[in-house]
Amino acid sequence: MSRSSRYTASVDDKGRVRFPAELARALQWLVGEKVALLFLLLEPGRYRVIPLSAGETDAELGRLRTAIQRLEERPAQDDLLDFESASVALFPSRLVEGVASSHGPGWRITLPREAVAFGFFSGEERNVLLQLTDGLLEIFLPIAVRRAHAIPLSDLLGELE
């Protein structure tokens, strides 16, 4: 399989995504009946799916987890008009635990509820793009696909050169 492969998949009303056996086989860390995962929000609508076991040993994810823990342990603010930015307040939602489950010939994961509940899908648009890159799965929700395709090709070619 190439360094990068793409698939499309549908998302049901509960945020579950089934993906084909071919993709599951390429993700060598999908073994057994269930695998604990981390969903790392890279940018709006784009998640990197990491096996929890790998996330426990990665130094950068360790830094991220430590920052989230410090943020969640901070004492409540006394002044009602003193508040943190939305980016800081929602920082813990950048790294969410989840589970992948064996489902028929393939596997199924459930997207973080924030991805389903807060407008990343519109109307009947219930598809995602799944991309396998260097042994990890990335999930692109419609908002991320639209943003990526909104960049003029000439600008993108200049950036890649």
Spatial neighbors of 77 by CB under 8 A, at least 6 apart, are 83
- This prediction's pTM: 0.82
pLDDT, tens digit, 9 for 90 and up, residues 29-64 = 998 899 999 999 888 889 999 998 887 788 888 888
Tally of helices (H runs) and strands (E runs) in the chain: 7, 8
Domains in the chain: ranges and CATH: 4-73+87-160 (3.40.1550.20)
| pLDDT for 150 beyond 80 | yes
Report residue 36: phi and psi, to 5°.
-70, 140
Q: What is the pLDDT of residues 74-125, one digit of tens each?
A: 777 777 776 777 888 777 888 888 999 998 888 999 988 877 776 566 666 7
Give burial (CB, 10 Å; 0-12/13-18/19+) of 140. buried
pLDDT at 3: 53
